[in-house]
Amino acid sequence: MASINDETNCYDFEASIQISRILKILSDTIKNTEIILCLPLVLSNNGAILNEFFPEDQVNFIQETCMKVGDAHTSETGDGLMMGDICLVVDLILSVAELGDFCRTKLTDCISTGGVTLLRNLEELRICVSDRLRVTPKMEAQHDAELRQLYQQNIRNRSEVEKLTEKLNKLVTETELEIEGKKQLIKSQINKIGKVRKQCRDSVKKKMDDAERQINWDVKNSEFRLEELQTGAKNAQYRRDVQLKEHLNSERDLRAKRYKVESQLVAVLQKYDTDIGERQSQLEEMTASYEEEKEQMAVLQQQFDEQEIEYVSLMLEKEHYERQEWEAKLYDIRCRIAARKIQRYFRAYLAASRAKGKKGKKGKKKK
């Protein structure tokens, strides 16, 4: 078992080396093809791009080689020599990494449609070869086993599909019967809809006839109403004319009254101006007399203020004197009242004493 694993590992290692070599060859082929397809663009403008990366002798060599390829005859020997020269030119271009990157990034977008298709096909070929080379015999056997398993599963699924098909046919039959019943129901509903539609049309027609009759009646009524309104308008116009005449006559009378009132107002205003002038002169005289009396009043007020101080002091003395007299009279009255009370109490006391003395004598006599 260990030897089998070692052989398998050795095989896998050798296979990976060979796969890497094949993929590298394909990648180099794609790169060389890109450079070959970009050569016409590189040689354009008298080799302006080449002059940036190579000296003049190498540029001339590349140009001459490409010209020889264009003019060469189709012979085996010639083809071999030309292919060698082309490979030499490609290697020379690839020796400059910047130029190779420039061709792959900038110039590949400008090549012809056929060249783009060729590069795409080569890239797809490389991917396909890479995928196929990475599949080992063990993986192929496993894949075959999976396919056989899927085949068996497909057979089982086919039987299940047949069973499901039978069920589906039954369901389809039942569904068709149900659909037929629905169709009958729809047909009956359509008949009902037709009847309802007919009834609606009849109803609409009847309503339209009624509406037409109503419209005719309304038109006649409106015409009659219009005649009445026209008659009323004529009467109103007549009344307006009469009232206008009356108002014009009234306006003339009012204008006359207004003129009369304005004349009276002018006379009153003139009289007012005359009277107000007289009143103004009287007011000025009264104002002068008022000012004179006001000055006299101020003098009298000053004299009154001076006498008021003396008057206040005299009144205070008078009040003090009257208060003293009143207090003396009040004291005299209080004394008299107190004397009377004392005399009354003393008399009562004497009477009580005498009464007690009489009672004591009577008691002794009885004993």
pLDDT digit string, tens, across residues 206-265:
888 888 888 888 888 888 888 888 888 888 888 888 888 888 888 888 888 888 888 888
Q: Which residue has the tokens 């060599």?
A: 61
Residue 280 confidence class, pLDDT cut points 50, 70, 90: confident
Is the CB of residue 50 less than 8 Å from the CB of residue 42?
Answer: yes
Which of 53-57, 114-118, 170-174 has the highest mean predicted lDDT (pLDDT)?
170-174
Helices 56-71 and 76-94 cross at an angle (nearest 10°) of 150
* 107 falls within a domain: yes
* 355 falls within a domain: no
Give the CA radius of gyration of the chain: 75
* 242 falls within a domain: no
* 33 falls within a domain: yes
Tell me how far CA of residue 97 lies from CA of 91, 176, 317, in angstroms: 11, 75, 143
Is the CB of residue 90 less than 8 Å from the CB of residue 35?
Answer: yes
* 34 falls within a domain: yes
Q: What percent of the chain has pLDDT over 70?
A: 82
* 366 falls within a domain: no
pTM above 0.85, yes or no: no
pLDDT tens across 62-113, in order?
767 777 665 554 444 445 456 666 777 777 777 776 777 777 766 666 777 7
Cα angle for residues 328, 333, 339 (degrees, 5° grid): 125
Report d(CA 248, CA 246) in Å as an integer: 5
* 29 falls within a domain: yes
Is the CB of residue 53 less than 8 Å from the CB of residue 99?
Answer: yes
Name the residue among 39, 12, 176, 202 with its Cα closest to residue 111. Answer: 39
Report d(CA 95, CA 53) in Å as an integer: 10
User: Which domain covers residue 8, as residue numbers?
Assistant: 3-72+80-134
Is the CB of residue 130 less than 8 Å from the CB of residue 19?
Answer: yes
pLDDT at 35: 72
Looking at the structure of the chain, the number of domains it has is 1
* 140 falls within a domain: no
| Burial grade of 34 (CB within 10 A; 0-12, 13-18, 19 or more) | buried
Tell me 75's DSSP state: -
